[in-house]
Structure 1
Amino acid sequence: MDERRASPGLALLAAIMFLFLLAPVFVVLPLSFSGEAILAFPPTSWSTRWYSQLLVEPKIKDAFLTSLGLAFLTMTLSILIGLPAAYALVRLKVPGSEFMMSLFTAPLLLPSIVLAIAILVVFASLGLLGTFPGLLAGHLIVTLPYAVRVLSTTFSGLPIACEEAASTLGASPLMVFWRVTLPLMTPGIAATAALCFLVSFDEVVLSLFLSGPRVSTLPVEMFHYVETRTDPLIAALSVLLVGITLVVVVVVDRTAGLARTFAK
């Protein structure tokens, strides 16, 4: 493989783009340690009071636990539904597989606001607005296309000769899948889990339409919080969320390898 070094101009442009993307973090991080009662940059005093305040803010705590449970359930169901769907589309070559793949991934082509309004209209007639099952169903609509796409790509990249060799040695189709296919798919499953978890945990547009006074997610509570208050608590929460995202990415990298996972 040709591994020529990038030209200085291209390297400089890449560095500028990285700085541009990371600029909000460079602003939010010092703000989260501000000792002021309102947002002011740069801070004139320093404190960790806003991180402590997160532990006693009831709406933030409840919304965080709701988002955590919602993201975990969404991730689990996305894999349980997406894995057999991807297997059928790629390995079994069911009739109309290309059309079904397009149907599965269609939500990715719609603007978030359009998809949210469509789901709102349907869920309103079903009585699912402002309920946890409604949020879970809505998030599944968003994450399933990612799961099916990543898992289908993983199936396409697997060496089918290994499965055929296991079959010729007398293994049943279920045993082949469990002992050969599934272990080979570990990087793809890890990528799907991380992607679905983060997409669900960070989903705000759809959650704004589907949440209510009985159940609300963390991004929705953050949105409502900044409408009425201007203290650095949200900056502290944002830093924690960036940290959680980095932890998820590092775990995927250490267990499955980002290059192997996303370069199938």
Structure 2
Amino acid sequence: MKVTPLLAGIGYAFLLSPLAIVALMSLSDDQYLTFPPHGFSFRWYVALAHNAAMLEAARTSLALAATVALIALLLGVPAAFALARGAAPAVVAGVLAAPLLLPTLVIGLGLLMVLQPLGLVATWPGLALGHLVVVLPFVVRLMMSAFAGLPPEMAEAASTLGARPWRGFVLVTLPMALPGLIASATLAFLVSFDETVISLFLVGPRLVTLPIALFRYTESRTDPLVAALAVVLIVLSATVVLVVDRLAGFTRTIARS
């Protein structure tokens, strides 16, 4: 038996074992989180489907993540194109990547101090702006990688045929960079949907995202509903990534960056 496949199997088993435990606990018939479960039931999935607070928080997170992903693409794609073509100073790339180097706790506190006097805390614009700060660097980095791999001759050919720069960008460059665009949108959506630390500083009683609702739920309860929600999120995230990878090569785009 070869050693490498064996070690790879052990590594995968080690990484996936917590997910298996969470999946088993989500099917528990107990009132509290215990392992191994004393019985199995789908009662906590039914309870999750009837939990109005969690469902409302999920709708908020979905709408917020979609909005942030769209804004991040509108801002990040032109910036990435300018950086990839050398039309912007290199220092701009460093500034855009700065949020990745800072702890999210520091970013959240800074956003709170800036947005509080403006009355944007516990509002949609404030929360979207906070998520955009951490999402935009991912979009710029991925799209820079996508644009850097494109031959500039195609856009130049469109220009020689009379296409204006913006038209050549939209009709030639963007379609060629479509895999990176889809991967960027997907990653931006997932990062925003999962953001917790910054949201803790910016949410309010009437504006709660799903990670914050889950965090508050676990402060007072320890039932398997949490595990059921975790399994649902894992399945949805894995499905999105697999579908996008089939369509646009998500993992290949991430690897190139």
Q: In the alignment, is the contact (CA less than 8 A) between 1:74 and 1:200 conserved in 2?
A: yes
Structure 1: stretches of 5+ with no match in the other structure: 1-6
Structure-1 residue corresponding to 2:160: 168
The 8 Å contact of residues 99 and 133 in structure 2, kept in 1 or not, is answered as: yes
Length, aligned pairs only: 256
Whole-angstrom distance in 2 between the partners of 1:193 and 1:202: 14
Distance 1:108 1:240 in 2: 28
Show CA shifts across 1:174-226 (max 9, x none). 22112210110111101101110110000111111111111011001111111
Q: Deviations over 1:59-78 (max 9, x none)?
A: 11111000010000011111
Do 1:131 and 1:214's aligned partners in 2 also have CA atoms closer than 8 Å? no
SS in 2 for 1:237: helix
Write the deviation string for residues 36-62 of structure 1: whole angstroms up to 9, x where unpaired. Answer: 111111111111111111121111111
Which runs of 5 or more structure 2 residues have no equivalent in the other structure?
none
Whether the aligned pair in 2 keeps the contact of 1:187 and 1:260 (CA below 8 Å) is: no
1:247 correspondence with 2:247: no
Over the matched positions of the two proteins, sequence identity in percent amounts to 48
Q: 1:66/1:259 Cα in 2 relative to 1: closer, same or farther (>3 Å)?
A: closer
CA distance in 1, matches of 2:251, 2:154: 22
Q: Please, what TM-score do these two structures have when normalized by structure 1?
A: 0.92
Q: Residues 35-184 of structure 1: matches in 2 within 5 Å? A: 35-91=29-85, 93-94=87-88, 97-184=89-176
Shift of 1:92: 5.4
- 8 Å contact 2:48–2:229 — kept in the other structure? yes
- Asked if the contact 2:72–2:135 (Cα under 8 Å) also holds between the matched residues in 1, the reply is yes
1:150-229 aligned within 5 A: 150-229=142-221
TM-score normalised by L of structure 2: 0.94
2:217 and 2:143 map into 1 onto residues whose CA distance is 37
CA distance in 2, matches of 1:257, 1:239: 25
Question: Partners of 1:105 and 1:211 in 2: how far apart?
Answer: 25
168-177 vs 221-230, which moves further:
168-177
RMSD of aligned C-alpha atoms? 1.6
Query: Match of 2:15, as an amino acid?
Result: L
